[in-house]
Amino acid sequence: MILLSASLALAEEVCVTLDISGFTQHQKNMVKAFVYSLGYEASGQDVIPTVSCNDCNSTKVCFKDPTFDVATIITGQKILDRYAVEKAKSDAETARLQVLETELNTINDGMKTDDTNWTSMTTTQKLVAIKKLLRREVLKRELGQ
């Protein structure tokens, strides 16, 4: 008679409760994404945490069988730091797109004049106008237009 034994390993859930009372609503909305990101960076594993809003002034974050110290890695300050970095990236991209949009609008305004004056323009002026057309197409592509 062969006796087979199976042992079930129960997953250990490690949780931390974070005080998010000082977070803005947008920061609160981003908690789960940043907690996931911090956990992934710490463990190199794609482990999705459970995040529950207790009273929306605190939130409970849990990982099953984490390979990192949850209380050290998942802190309110680290979430705020990550938020600041991501916000700075987003703000920089918004500013970059606004510069491109302004350049596109300036070129479009100039193209109206070029179109009106095309027959009286010199060859050099026409080449400058064609260069503007090419730049306009590059800008439109970068802006997703």
Is position 65 within any domain? yes
pLDDT of 1 higher than 80: no
Is position 83 within any domain? no
Same domain, yes or no, for 19 and 56?
A: yes
Is position 82 within any domain? no
- Is 30:83 a contact under the CB 8 Å cutoff? yes
User: Using 50, 70 and 90 to split pLDDT, how confident is the model at 54?
Assistant: low
Is position 115 within any domain? yes
Is position 47 within any domain? yes
Q: What is the mean pLDDT of the chain?
A: 90
Cβ neighbours of residue 90 closer than 8 Å, sequence gap 6 or more: none
Average pLDDT (82-97) is 96
**68/74 Cα distance (integer angstroms):** 10
User: Running DSSP on this structure, what letter comes out for residue 48?
Assistant: P
What range defines the domain where residue 33 resides?
A: 13-74
- Any idea which residue has 């006796």 for tokens? 3
Is position 30 within any domain? yes
Report the half-sphere exposure of 86 (CA within 13 A, side-chain side): 13
Is position 107 within any domain? yes
Same domain, yes or no, for 24 and 60?
A: yes
Is position 112 within any domain? yes
Number of domains making up the chain: 2
Average pLDDT (7-24) is 83
- Is 75:18 a contact under the CB 8 Å cutoff? yes
Same domain, yes or no, for 66 and 97?
A: no
